[in-house]
């Protein structure tokens, strides 16, 4: 089992994103807000002449709001159903190799985490929560639907 994982910090928590799904890691500067869009959509940003829909992971997980006022934020760019998204995270750390298949976490997590969890994976750096990118992007909407 050699799936590569991108280790990021969201809301102070170290989690893993499947590295294969992440196109690049960028630093976002200007954000164009999208009025009346769901709260977890932080806005739009341009990356090499592409429009990125910027997702605030904190909001998506109902952990609070990332403060975007201080300028540059790190984000992971992913593609989902033909659309490009930038997921705002606190910090992008490293790429590690998964040493196990994801396994269910039996302890109770927070509501937000529960929704996006794809289980626990073992890595050299200890167990990490594997996050479902689709669930982060759709935010709380999916639950409502």
Partner 1 sequence: MDDLISEFIAECREMLEALGGEVVAWEAAPEDRARLDSIFRFVHTVKGNCGFFDFPRLEALSHSAEDALAEVRAGRRHADPALVSAVLAVIDRIAEMIAALDAGEELPAGDDSALIHALRQTPEAPPAPVAATVAEAQAKTVAAPRTIRLSVELLDRLMSGVSDMVLARNELARRLRETTGDVAVDGAFERLSSIIADMRDAITRTRMQRIENLFVALPRMVRDLSAELGKQVLVDIDGGDVELDREMIEMIRDPLTHIIRNSVDHGIETPAERLKAGKREIGILTVAARQSGNQILIDIHDDGRGINGKKLVDKAVTAGVVERSEASALSPREQLALIFEAGLSTAQEVTAISGRGVGMDVVRSNIERIGGIVEVDSTLGEGTRMTLRVPLTLTIIPALTVSVAGQHFAIPRSAIDEIVRANGNSVTLEKLGGAGVATIRGRRVPQIALADVLGLESNLSDDERTFVVLRPAGSDVYALAVDRIHDHEELVVKPAAPAVMATGLYAGTTLADDGSPILLFDPAGLAEVGGVKLEAHERAARIVEAPAAPAACDTPVLLFRGLDGSRRAMRLAIVDRIEEVASAAIKPGAGQLRVQVGETILPLAGVNGDFPAEKVRLFRLNDGVAEIGYAFREVVDLSAIGQEVIQAECPGEVSGVTLIAGEPAEIVDTHWLFANFAGPQANQPDQLVCRLPADDPWIQNMLRPIVEAAGYRVVSDADEVDADIAIVSEPAAAKKTAAARVIRVRAEPDPASRKDDSIYRYDRAALLTALKAGAGGKG
130: Cα separation from own chain's centroid: 10
Supply the minimum distance, in Å, between the C-beta of residue 140 and partner 1.
Answer: 11
Q: Give the DSSP per-residue string, 19-35.
A: GGGEEEEEEE---B--T
Q: Which is nearer to partner 1, 44 or 95 (CB)?
A: 44
Supply the minimum distance, in Å, between the C-beta of residue 132 and partner 1.
Answer: 16
**Region class of 43: left (phi > 0), else alpha (psi between -120 and 50), else beta:** left
* Residue 21 near residue 104, CB atoms below 8 Å: no
Binding site for partner 1 (CB under 8 A): 30, 32-38, 40-41, 44-46, 48-53, 81, 83, 85, 137-139, 141
Q: Which is nearer to partner 1, 50 or 110 (CB)?
A: 50
Q: Which is nearer to partner 1, 51 or 109 (CB)?
A: 51
Torsion of CA 74, 66, 88, 27, to 10 degrees: -30
In angstroms, the CA 63 to CA 144 distance is: 18
Supply the minimum distance, in Å, between the C-beta of residue 106 and partner 1.
Answer: 31
- Cβ-Cβ contacts under 8 Å for 31 (sequence gap 6 or more): 42, 43, 44, 45, 54, 68
Supply the minimum distance, in Å, between the C-beta of residue 38 and partner 1.
Answer: 5
Q: Which is nearer to partner 1, 46 or 91 (CB)?
A: 46
Supply the minimum distance, in Å, between the C-beta of residue 113 and partner 1.
Answer: 20
Q: Which is nearer to partner 1, 53 or 123 (CB)?
A: 53
């Amino acid at each position: 089992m050699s799936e590569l994982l991108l280790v990021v910090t969201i809301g102070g928590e170290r989690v893993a994103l499947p590295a294969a799904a992440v196109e690049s890691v960028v630093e976002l500067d200007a954000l164009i807000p999208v009025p009346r869009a769901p709260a977890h959509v932080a806005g739009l940003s341009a990356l090499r002449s592409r429009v990125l829909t910027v997702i605030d992971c904190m909001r998506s997980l109902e952990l609070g709001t990332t403060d975007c006022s201080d300028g540059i934020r790190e984000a992971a760019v992913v593609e989902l159903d033909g659309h490009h998204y930038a997921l705002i995270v606190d910090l992008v750390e490293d790429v590690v190799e998964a040493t196990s298949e994801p396994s269910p976490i039996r302890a109770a997590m927070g509501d937000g985490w529960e929704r996006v969890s794809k289980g626990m994976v073992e890595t050299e750096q200890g167990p990490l929560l594997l996050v479902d990118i689709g669930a982060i992007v759709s935010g709380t909407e999916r639950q409502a639907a």
